[in-house]
Amino acid sequence: MWHSKDVYYLSGSTGILAEDLGKSLLCQFPEISFNTEKIPFIRSEDDAQNAIDHILSRSAGRYPLVFSTIMNKDLIRILDAPEVEFFSICDNYLEDLESILEAVPLRMSGYSRHLDDTTMAKRVEAIQYCISHDDGSLTKDYDEAEVILLGVSRSGKTPISVYLATQMGIKAANYPLVPEDLDAYRLPSSIVRNKARAIGLSTSPANLHAIREKRYQGSSYAKLATCSNELSQANQIFLNHNIPVIISDGSSIEETATQVAQQLSLKRLPHL
């Protein structure tokens, strides 16, 4: 068994898709250490030759894994060298679809980017909105939000908001439930009128205690009793306003963000 393996993600575009797909497969082999590199924008035969030369110069004799979303057969022939383990992620499926649909595919990497000229603008707008509406800022603008994340301090609101904006193109605001909100069991009017787009984030008292303790060790804020009480108050607020709750324990940022998007039936923008 290999104890470590070099991995390359190749693409005619940004390489995000190749990397995502490759990582989703490689994570099934946690006992192996993977050294990864992404090589994007391979669009000509010269680009392909330079890429394979680079790979062989760094990983010759180790049979590196190469995950590719390139669909141009001329480029694939260059990249699929005997010295590498080549996985053409898109091409195999494309050939099956070509047969099933009885149509000739374009075989253009990143073509989806050109189908909608507003995709980039929407993603940038979502990122700007997320930054401007982090941690309870500008609640007056919540009418424009696609999702409003609610939760006590250190419940994961900001990283999930950032992921929703940067990776999914979703305009996400987040609001921390401060003691004044918790003790009065209330929400600002800007959230109440938009509660159909609100999601509560929660976790276990032990997990919240561990997170707070790392930054504010020994403080009253980090005490297990404080965490338990705040979470209980927050959950009651969510119940009072019929706001769905997502428990983040044991889930990655990506998994929780996906749950948020699914809960509100939000669609992500295509990768750029």
pLDDT tens digits, residue range 89-118? 777 677 777 777 777 766 666 555 544 556
Query: How much is the mean pLDDT over the chain?
Result: 88
Q: Quote the CA–CA distance of 85 and 56 in Å, as a whole number.
A: 12
The structure's pTM equals 0.63
**Rounded mean pLDDT, 26-53:** 94
Q: Identify the band that residue 8 occupies on the pLDDT scale cut at 50, 70 and 90.
A: very high
Say what the pLDDT of residue 18 is: 87
**Rounded mean pLDDT, 231-237:** 97
Residue 27 scores a pLDDT above 50: yes
Say what the pLDDT of residue 134 is: 93
- Closest to 133 measured CA to CA, from 158, 116, 156: 158
Q: Is 145 left (phi over 0), alpha (psi -120 to 50) or beta?
A: beta
Say what the pLDDT of residue 110 is: 56
Which residue's structure tokens are 């180790």?
62
Q: Residue 199 — φ and ψ, nearest 5°? A: -130, 130
What domains does the chain contain, in order, with CATH numbers? 4-114 (3.40.50), 119-263 (3.40.50)
Provide the 8-state DSSP code for 237.
H
Q: Taken in order 265, 270, 271, 272, is the CA torsion positive or negative?
A: negative
Residues contacting residue 211 through CB under 8 Å, at least 6 positions apart: 154
**Other residues' Cβ atoms within 10 Å of the Cβ of residue 211:** 17
Q: Quote the CA–CA distance of 168 and 129 in Å, as a whole number.
A: 13
As given in the structure block, the two tokens for residue 11 are 């693409």
Provide the angle, in degrees to the nearest 10, between the axes of the packed helices 89-101 and 16-26: 100
